[in-house]
Structure 1
């Protein structure tokens, strides 16, 4: 026993010195961070979409199933109101606004609301309206004055609201959008509510990818928005008057371009001479929700159905050409690299999926074509590996999943599905003698 006590201190000292000498750079154990990928001009030329830009993405994972000029910034007109709706829902969630709170529209909002050439519910001067009624008018009937009244309620002034909206968009990862108005009209069309320093012709511009990011965040953070966007008809009560609000989304069940096979329940149209006919749509089939964006479709008249026809083509393409595949927690992939373990009884650990997730595979594709690369969580590292001991099923990093015969694209710019990685077995800490012996042998 005395011998081991005498031996312990020299061994500890030796371990400390040799570990420092022989330790490798931590960075060498981490794969370099993937740079943001650019979407192809068109992911499938066989799908002929008659619009300036379009995209289709999975609402949950952000996987891009189809893209055409998806990163080109274009006017979006009233689709801008989705950002206004997000800001209102956020203010409600944070307790800054209440649904039954009364709002008195500013002179600019009231003046815009009286323009019969625009989509509007007429707001009376000096009258007050609930946040809920203005919100419904904004999403269902695309009421421009109502959107401005909501912007004032959130930001205090139109300018303050736009500044807040720009910051929120950047938080979402939207960095190249141009935002000047809360309703999508040009800067000059919002009268005294225009953004200072910008020209009267300045208008909101987003890429199809940006609109998909916004739509995904809206559905993820505030899924209750669908309870309003799916309303086909509602009356706006203006005291003694009532305005019948018909939803401009004609793909809703029972309307002119309803898609019988797919239950469309949102989101927002947008129309102007510069933007053409635009549409942010969402559909849920068998629990698998898609978001589609069409920008700059043909716009010859108010009755033009082109944006809905192009949207239907994209939806049909996605559901007919892809298989929604669920990857269950604990699933392993062939040839997945192990992760290093620092001072573990074993020097590496195998990993598996630490969560259930999903991927759309081209028709005919199977799970067998998937492969994954494990990337360790730096916060769990000690020197050159995951610090032992490790429990079975412990989350230790991420798995970057790719498909052998299919290029994957995601809204965050990556070309792989990211999922949590967990250990497949327990890894105990090595004893002092094993650690010392490894340090000695590493010198040779």
Structure 2
């Protein structure tokens, strides 16, 4: 009689458990926004208003100073214009060899000697490739505006596309008024309607890093152009010698073989100061850095590049990029409990090939999983959850999650679900 009562109580408990499984509740830890805003900010003294350094692939934050502060971005804007250009080519809305003619307002901007420019002429035709190259290398404002005009039909329509694109990337605090980065009023009749003439495009250093990250991820071929120090722009027999404003490229004044950057874009206005988003390959990983609001005394001031080198030097001396293949197991989270599985646990490994910049602190990287157990059945290679990593007590954080970088974990083998009779037996008598 006692045995039958035990079975009855076990069955009631089992039914209750089945009901609860379908009503699982998820929760998340509070995110510390300050971690992304000032990560290791006291470790290197940069003479800039804001800065950030991230791994291009994972978004791991390696350094941040006022990284969430929105500031004028000037011609760094052109990276968003270039992204939409490459996207339009990919979707066959425009083509590299397509020829277009500038409007009178665009010609006026393109021939203003106060701006960084390649002169465009009324009635002349230019290929999309020419305009793209001029935008990236000479930071030509007229060329960038004409790209936007061609893609969207009007400056206002293109700006709206730019705004929509950055929102897709999770950037909510951007203010965008021009395709080139000049103050709104400098575009004359092409100024964004209803907006003050002094309004400038603004983003944070973190936002700009996200723009650069997505550009390189979706269109890595952009680096084939951003790495060019010089290129000729030919227009009906006249040649304009273009020189890249990224002076850290080989052949230019701030080149240093210790920092062989291959992109991306500078930006300068009175309000922005000197800005630069750079990228470089290092030990098999790609780094993106952003410095904003560096000193800009005149057109010969190299301050933004000096600060970028200082930031890169800090990263190279304080971190070691470690690349792990898909399936690699991480200390601290090599397996997970499996409820009602054929086996009590399932081995876990990285879902994808992953690079982690390991702090040079002599401490071992340790992982934890964002869940304690999963329900059977489990298929091989099924994504189980996310790893979060620490080096000693120091959290590894990312641009999308300042509370801890999420790295997907997968099951390294299948784990079937036992039948109901085995489950009942386990409930009554224990066991896995």
Is TM-score (shorter-chain normalized) higher than 0.5? yes
TM-score (norm 2): 0.90
Indicate the residue corresponding to 1:72 in structure 2: 69
Q: State how 1:336-351 maps to structure 2 within 5 Å.
A: 336=333, 339=336, 341-351=338-348
Indicate the residue corresponding to 1:399 in structure 2: 387
Q: 1:418 aligns with which of 392, 395, 406?
A: 406
Q: 1:48 aligns with which of 41, 45, 68?
A: 45
**1:319 Cα shift?**
0.5
Cα distance in 2, alignment partners of residues 22 and 291 from structure 1? 49
CA shift digits 1:304-363 (9 cap, x unpaired): 010110011011110011111223434434443864545422454343333331211221
Say whether the 8 Å CA contact 2:332–2:366 is kept in structure 1.
no
Q: 2:94 aligns with which of 86, 94, 97?
A: 97
Cα distance in 2, alignment partners of residues 351 and 30 from structure 1? 21
**1:27 Cα shift?**
6.2
Structure 1: which 5+ residue stretches go unaligned? 1-10, 377-383
Say whether the 8 Å CA contact 1:208–1:294 is kept in structure 2.
yes
Indicate the residue corresponding to 2:375 in structure 1: 386
> What SS class does the counterpart of residue 370 from structure 1 fall into?
strand
Q: 1:437 aligns with which of 416, 425, 429?
A: 425
CA shift digits 1:145-186 (9 cap, x unpaired): 111100001111000000000000011111101100000011
Indicate the residue corresponding to 2:218 in structure 1: 221
CA RMSD across the alignment = 2.6
CA shift digits 1:407-438 (9 cap, x unpaired): 32211133323223223444233134212334
Indicate the residue corresponding to 1:371 in structure 2: 367
Indicate the residue corresponding to 1:155 in structure 2: 152
Q: 1:22 aligns with which of 14, 17, 38?
A: 17
Count of residues paired in the alignment: 422
**1:237 Cα shift?**
1.2
Q: 2:28 aligns with which of 28, 32, 37?
A: 32
> What SS class does the counterpart of residue 394 from structure 2 fall into?
coil
TM-score (norm 1): 0.88
CA shift digits 1:175-210 (9 cap, x unpaired): 101100000011100111111111101110111111
**1:297 Cα shift?**
0.5
> What SS class does the counterpart of residue 57 from structure 2 fall into?
coil
**1:371 Cα shift?**
2.3
Does residue 169 of the first structure (1) align with residue 166 of the second (2)?
yes
CA shift in 2, pair 1:338/1:105, >3 Å: same
Cα distance in 1, alignment partners of residues 59 and 425 from structure 2? 49
Say whether the 8 Å CA contact 1:63–1:408 is kept in structure 2.
yes
Q: 2:279 aligns with which of 267, 278, 282?
A: 282
Q: State how 1:278-357 maps to structure 2 within 5 Å.
A: 278-336=275-333, 339=336, 341-357=338-354
Greater shift after overlay, 245-254 or 22-31?
22-31
Q: State how 1:124-135 maps to structure 2 within 5 Å.
A: 124-135=121-132
Cα distance in 2, alignment partners of residues 67 and 336 from structure 1? 28
**1:106 Cα shift?**
2.0
Q: 1:141 aligns with which of 138, 154, 157?
A: 138
Cα distance in 2, alignment partners of residues 323 and 356 from structure 1? 16
CA shift in 2, pair 1:197/1:281, >3 Å: same
**1:372 Cα shift?**
1.5
Greater shift after overlay, 334-343 or 194-203?
334-343
Cα distance in 2, alignment partners of residues 30 and 438 from structure 1? 27
Cα distance in 2, alignment partners of residues 287 and 92 from structure 1? 29
